[in-house]
Amino acid sequence: MHTQSRIVLLATTLALCGTPFQPGSVWAQSVATTPGNKSSHPDQEKTKTPYRLGIFSADATIPLNHRCMGILPQKSIRITDPLFVHGFAILGPEQPIVVVAVDWCEIRNASYDKWRDRLALAARTTRERVLVSSLHQHDAPVIDADAQELLNNVGLANELFDPEFHESVLDRVEEALRDAIAATTPITHVGYSESIVEDIASNRRIVNTEGIVSFSRGSSSGRELLYRDAEIGLIDPKLRTLSFWDNDRCLLEYHTYATHPMSYYGRGEVTSDFVGLARERRKRDDRNVAQVYASGCSGDVTAGKFNDGTPESRRKLTNRLYDAMRHSSDHVQRILMEQLSFKNEALNLEASRDENLSVDFLNGQLHDQSLSTEKRILAAMGLASWNRVARGQCIDMPCLDFQIARVVLFPGESFVGYQSIAQELSSGKPVLPIGYGECWTGYVPTESAFLDGFHENWLWVAPGAETQIRSALRALFE
């Protein structure tokens, strides 16, 4: 086994055993596709295909004393388990497609553009055809170069994130992508499967005993009777899996499920949490099959009903998601990989008109030295979003149509209702909705959530997003 592969195995095994992982330095692993499940018919004629798959991975673990979630007071003090970038590139008759899932909280504004531009250059494709999403773990960084530049100007260098660390990760991901493109494997078939996830997701929206609606059920609210006993609410219970095959050999499984990915956070313990731990456990079932997980539209979905924020709950959530991944692979429908269609729609979402998010108010907070550093960081993030909207820069909303299923990348913390809308508009063809693409928006509530009074300090987008997203989905599915 390659030295770096042994490090990945050791780090993840230690994490599952509860032992901290302390990397001496940040390193990367490039994964070239190796023969997967042996065909039961080794002498069968191989299917010809114009498509090829390159698989890559790199370590993205933040250093100690790094800010988590952008605004958490406790910086990183311990590496519980490593953070990763997992992705794949598809080469075929058209320009390449690159799909990337990052164990970080968010990537926003100029930083999001930089990821797409760098990887597009490496793959010789265009920015729009690079689908980057964050998994949104909270014990992980928010990366926003525009906000950090504003912070630099008021003496808060490196307070949101460490730019040198960020550059080193991008360098390694770019190198891993180039290596993967140089070592591709044929894709003869594409598969789709799904399974029901038990006892993880619950909606943040609850109605209390007085009939008052709130969105107060957080990730670990199960310690309180009110949140534990409240109805599950609107969720999407399905884990959906897209798989790529070389005849009878499964090369990669790409999973998505809609929930906030935290069991507990804010203690300075860097972790990919139960979604990353489930992914790494699934990987160990067959190391010849790559595993990529992406969070769905889950801005208003948490594990709060079923999670009390204890290590035991993290283990239970990990097991439940792992079981869903494993069961999804038991019932795969496959078709020949004969066509991959790409479309992209531009979203021109408006910035929030809340007076506490006005440019003047945010500028005042950014420059107010009496405020906590965390409040000033949040102000810088809001200003960065405002500046982007003022430039007229739209959000790309790409769609990959594999004929058996579609993949759609949504902005920010889109609410789970958008998954229902996508499935409804897709005319029976399954959709794998991916959340946490361009994240300048923060939350992206549905119209009904706005009407229910949803309001958070992580909300930078104005009402009206649902109308635009519906229109974009119709155009993408035409």
Residue 44 reports pLDDT greater than 60: no
For helices 109-123 and 145-152, what crossing angle results, to 10°?
Answer: 130
State the pLDDT confidence band at 14, using cuts at 50, 70 and 90: very low
**Any domain includes 149:** yes
This model's pTM is above 0.95: no
* 263 belongs to a structural domain: yes
* pLDDT at position 32: 35
Q: What is the residue whose two structure tokens read 């499984």?
A: 253
Residue 209: its pLDDT value, please?
A: 85
Residue 1: pLDDT over 80: no
Mean pLDDT of 388-409: 97
Specify if 241 maps to a domain: yes
Check whether 348 has a pLDDT greater than 70.
yes
Question: Averaged over 441-449, what is the pLDDT?
Answer: 98
Average pLDDT, the chain: 92
Residue numbers of the domain that contains 60: 3-344+394-477
> Residue 103 has what pLDDT?
98
Q: What letter represents residue 181's amino acid?
A: I
Token match 């960084």: residue? Answer: 141
Residue 292 included in any domain: yes
The pLDDT tens digits for 179-221 are 999 999 999 999 999 999 999 999 999 998 889 999 999 999 9
What band does 46 get if pLDDT is binned at 50, 70 and 90?
low
Q: 39 pLDDT exceeds 60?
A: no
In this prediction, residues 63-88 reach a mean pLDDT of: 98
Whether residue 345 contacts residue 355, with contact meaning beta carbons closer than 8 Å, is answered with no
Cα separation, 101 vs 133, whole angstroms: 5
CA gap 119, 387 in Å, rounded: 25
pLDDT for res 309: 97
pLDDT tens digits, residue range 103-150?
A: 999 999 999 999 999 999 999 999 999 999 999 999 999 999 999 999
Examine the pLDDT at 235 and tell me if it is beyond 50: yes
429 occurs within a structural domain:
yes
Per-residue pLDDT for 31 more than 50?
no
Q: Is residue 382 part of a domain?
A: no
Whether 34 maps to a domain, the answer reads yes
Mean pLDDT within 60-67: 98
Summarised one tens digit per residue, pLDDT across range 301-310 is: 999 999 999 9
* pLDDT of 230 over the 70 cut: yes
> What was the pLDDT predicted at 48?
83
Query: Of 4 and 157, which is predicted with more confidence?
Result: 157
The count of structural domains within the chain is 1
Q: How confident is the model at residue 45 (pLDDT cuts 50, 70, 90)?
A: low
357 domain-assigned: no
Share of the chain above pLDDT 70, in %: 90
Task: Report the 3 state secondary structure along the chain.
Answer: CCHHHHHHHHHHHHHHCCCCCCCCCCCCCCCCCCCCCCCCCCCCCCCCCCCEEEEEEEECCCCCCCCCCCCCCCCCCEECCCCEEEEEEEECCCCCEEEEEECCCEEEHHHHHHHHHHHHHHHCCCHHHEEEEECCCCCCCEEEHHHHHHHHCCCCCCCCCCHHHHHHHHHHHHHHHHHHHCCCEECCEEEEEEEECCCCCEECCEECCCCCEECCCCCCHHHCHHHHHCCCCCCCCEEEEEEEEECCEEEEEEEEECCCCCCCCCCCEECCHHHHHHHHHHHHHCCCCEEEEEECCCCCEECCCCCCCCHHHHHHHHHHHHHHHHHHCCCCEEEECCCCEEEEEEECCCECCCHHHCHHHHHHHHHCCCCCHHHHHHHHHHHHHHHHHHHCCCEEEEEEECCCCEEEECCCEECCHHHHHHHHHCCCCCEEEECCCCCCCEEECCHHHHHCCCCCCCECECCCHHHHHHHHHHHHHC
pLDDT of residue 429: 98
Q: How many residues does the chain have?
A: 478
